[in-house]
Chain A
Amino acid sequence: MELAGVLNYLVGFFIMVGIYGIFSLGLNVQWGFTGLFNAGIAGFFALGAYTTALLTTPAPDAAQVEDFIFGGNLAGLPYLDWGIDFWFILSLAAVALVCGIVAYAVGRLTLRLSGDYLAIATLGIAEAVRLMFLNEKWIANGSKGLYRIPEFLGDLVSPANYDYLFLVVVLVVLALLYLAVQRVVNSPWGRVLRAIREDEVAAQSSGKDVYSFKLQAFILGGIIMGIGGALYAHHVRFISPITFDPLLATFVIWAMLMVGGSGNNRGALLGAFVVWGIWSGTQFLPWFFADPNFRFFMIGVLIVGVILIRPGGILGETRRVSRVVGASSHTPVKEGGNPKE
């Protein structure tokens, strides 16, 4: 490959790492800090992607239409013609709203019950969302999906170089989300979440409204995942129900968080890089090694390896040393220092 080809590959690679980093960050809020088991990340991924696509995408060619009435493309309506770039930003807000409402509803139903219910409900929601977009063709063109999802700021650069620009967009969104999450998990809000993760009863006896905090964490995580889904849609520019297959839209994200380090936001991002690196790197292997099943198997091996060698993930959670005593000795948890081992 010549240099330009390599560069193009790397840009595409890091766009995906950035997008998956966002999912991983969202899961970290739910699982890493609060202990909420979301088995249906794909549901929020899909809701985010479809919401933005429906708001911004022009209607498909007649020949490609299954039974598409709703049409979306609000950006194309004359009186809402504020330009696609403005609509992109507006649609991110809509994504946040939709995912927030769905997370709220799922949380309302399950977060007072034991954790198993949340796992089952999220699994069910993800499947329900996928089947809804598949079978209710009038919503989003069924199995043929939505394509030609527009590019954000696409007028600024030539199509050949667009990915460079989009990489910047993804990194900016990722950085903003990272900083936002960092701030709240390091504040007393995050302390309550970790207390709930450690011992719900003790958190309650310390006067914390456990249900309310769980709900907040679940909603925040769901919104973050939805935004990841929206960026994915504008990057790949084609979505259909197959896109939100549980392996690539839920399992891989769990793998990222486990490998990188649950309870550590930098770990979540590192995990996205490592796992996506393995996933996309292995496609260049010869013959059957490039088979997707074998590549998933490799990720499975990686998870097992990390769990055996570093149970907390590559970076793992760091101990929060109080400020007065030793602000300088902010050391990662040593293996022997983890009380759960």
Chain B
Amino acid sequence: MAVPTPILEVRDLVKDFGGVRALDHCTLDIEPGHITGIIGPNGAGKTTLFNVVSGAMRPTGGSIAFYGRRIEGWGMHRTFGLGLVRTFQIPREMQRMTVMENLMLVPAQQMGEKLWASWFRPGRVAQDEDRISTQARDVLEMLTLSHLADEYAGNLSGGQKKLLELGRTLMAEPRMVLLDEPGAGVNRTLLRNISKSILLASAERNVTFAIIEHDMGFVMAMCDQIIVMANGAVIAKGTPTEIQNNPLVMEAYLGGLNRGSP
């Protein structure tokens, strides 16, 4: 069997913030259909990688290809259009909009997003809305947020906001989802729900996932591939077992810790 072509190819990606080099010639591939974990000490550049890949930030150098298409420097709404969807480590919800509205916002190509259609085709718009609201209710149910459907998103707890972030990606019809610490601040029971919905989307809808997560139990159980980052570059890649037995990884984590304390 041929080696599958990667869905995402990152080559020599560099991102500088003033004097800080957050990504330092970062190179990695992500294969379609997999759930890839991205781990590494704090400040390794994981979130920056997502920011640059999703188009929230322009890279200083290097290239990104999604399905063979060069996307570096694109805006987020354009990468979304290709089916590349991301969540934020610190949730970004529309505070003074309800949970339901936060979700219903997401689907692309809504009829009612066109001015003329809103004025002159209200029937079609309402039809669209019914479909989208049913979809949103299903997502809420899965995330156990149904009772908060009409609450302002700004009033949710930290963990609930993380769930809402995940919900937004489920409302899109993504080919690839980048999750930045989906489990942070979420309790165990909910975390199992999250795992379930990720596995479901992966199996049934063939969505590719890349997940940044510090919870090793979660990563080892969920992911079939793990990428380890340190100091802005990839230092190891492999299956959970390979990573657990890799001395470099241990050192990166300890080294990271050592650097932080005198």
Interface residues of A (CB under 8 A from B): 180, 183-184, 187-192, 194-195, 198-199, 201-210, 216, 220, 317, 319-326, 337-340
Q: Are A202 and B94 in contact (CB under 8 A)?
A: yes
Q: Are A339 and B81 in contact (CB under 8 A)?
A: no
Q: A-B pairs with the 9 shortest C-beta distances?
A: A339-B154, A207-B80, A188-B112, A198-B94, A187-B118, A202-B92, A187-B112, A204-B76, A322-B100
Is B168 an interface residue, CB under 8 A from the partner?
yes
Given contacts A205-B56, A207-B81, is CB(A191)–CB(B101) below 8 Å?
yes
Q: Are A340 and B106 in contact (CB under 8 A)?
A: no
Q: Which residues of A contact B95 (CB under 8 A)?
A: 198-199, 339-340
Q: Which residue of B lies closest to A213 (CB)?
A: B113
Q: A187-B118, A206-B80 are in contact. List 20 more A-B contacts (CB 8 A).
A: A184-B115, A187-B112, A187-B113, A188-B111, A189-B118, A198-B93, A199-B93, A201-B92, A203-B105, A204-B56, A204-B77, A206-B106, A208-B77, A322-B98, A337-B152, A339-B95, A339-B153, A339-B155, A340-B95, A340-B96
Q: Are B98 and A320 in contact (CB under 8 A)?
A: yes
What's the Cα separation between A174 and B154 when bound, in Å? 34
Q: Are B92 and A205 in contact (CB under 8 A)?
A: yes
Q: Which residues of B contact A339 (CB under 8 A)?
A: 95-96, 152-155
Residue in A207, A317, A320, A337 whose CB lies within 8 Å of B101: A320
Enumerate 7 A-B pairs (CB-CB under 8 Å) in ascending A order. Answer: A183-B122, A188-B113, A189-B112, A189-B114, A201-B92, A207-B81, A340-B154
- Among A194, A198, A202, A207, which residue has the most Cβ atoms of chain B within 10 A? A207
What's the Cα separation between A316 and B150 when bound, in Å? 18
Q: Are A194 and B97 in contact (CB under 8 A)?
A: yes
Residue in A180, A184, A207, A210 whose CB lies within 8 Å of B106: A207
Q: Are B113 and A189 in contact (CB under 8 A)?
A: yes
What's the Cα separation between A324 and B152 when bound, in Å? 17
Q: Which residues of B contact A203 (CB under 8 A)?
A: 94, 105
What's the Cα separation between A324 and B98 when bound, in Å? 14
Q: Are A180 and B119 in contact (CB under 8 A)?
A: yes
Is B246 an interface residue, CB under 8 A from the partner?
no
Q: Are A207 and B172 in contact (CB under 8 A)?
A: yes
Is B75 an interface residue, CB under 8 A from the partner?
yes
- For residue A319, give the distance in angstroms from its CB to the closest CB of chain B: 6
Contact with A along B84-97 (1 / 0, CB 8 A): 01101000111111
Give the number of chain B interface residues (Cβ < 8 Å).
45
Q: Are B154 and A204 in contact (CB under 8 A)?
A: no
Q: Which residues of A contact B94 (CB under 8 A)?
A: 194-195, 198-199, 202-203
Given contacts A187-B125, A188-B113, is CB(A205)–CB(B76) below 8 Å?
yes
What's the Cα separation between A322 and B168 when bound, in Å? 17
Given contacts A188-B113, A195-B105, A324-B133, is CB(A183)–CB(B118) below 8 Å?
yes
- For residue B117, give the distance in angstroms from its CB to the closest CB of chain A: 8
Q: Are A188 and B150 in contact (CB under 8 A)?
A: no
Q: Which residue of A lies closest to B122 (CB)?
A: A183
Q: Which residue of A lies closest to B104 (CB)?
A: A191
What's the Cα separation between A340 and B81 when bound, in Å? 31
What's the Cα separation between A202 and B56 when bound, in Å? 10
Q: Are A188 and B118 in contact (CB under 8 A)?
A: yes
- Among B86, B129, B150, which residue has the most Cβ atoms of chain A within 10 A? B150
Contact with A along B153-179 (1 / 0, CB 8 A): 111000000000000100010000000
Q: Are B152 and A319 in contact (CB under 8 A)?
A: yes
Q: Which residues of A contact B153 (CB under 8 A)?
A: 339
Is B241 an interface residue, CB under 8 A from the partner?
no
What's the Cα separation between A222 and B149 when bound, in Å? 35
Is B108 an interface residue, CB under 8 A from the partner?
yes
What's the Cα separation between A202 and B85 when bound, in Å? 11
- For residue A126, give the distance in angstroms from its CB to the closest CB of chain B: 25
Q: Are A322 and B149 in contact (CB under 8 A)?
A: yes
Q: Are B150 and A325 in contact (CB under 8 A)?
A: yes
Q: Are B80 and A205 in contact (CB under 8 A)?
A: yes
Q: Which residues of A contact B115 (CB under 8 A)?
A: 184, 189, 216, 220
- For residue B133, give the distance in angstroms from its CB to the closest CB of chain A: 6
- For residue A118, give the distance in angstroms from its CB to the closest CB of chain B: 19
What's the Cα separation between A204 and B155 when bound, in Å? 22
Q: Are A204 and B75 in contact (CB under 8 A)?
A: yes
What's the Cα separation between A203 and B122 when bound, in Å? 24
Is B54 an interface residue, CB under 8 A from the partner?
yes
Q: Which residues of A contact B80 (CB under 8 A)?
A: 204-207
Q: Which residues of A contact B5 (CB under 8 A)?
A: none
Q: Which residue of B lies closest to A219 (CB)?
A: B115
Given contacts A319-B98, A325-B149, A337-B155, is CB(A188)–CB(B119) below 8 Å?
no
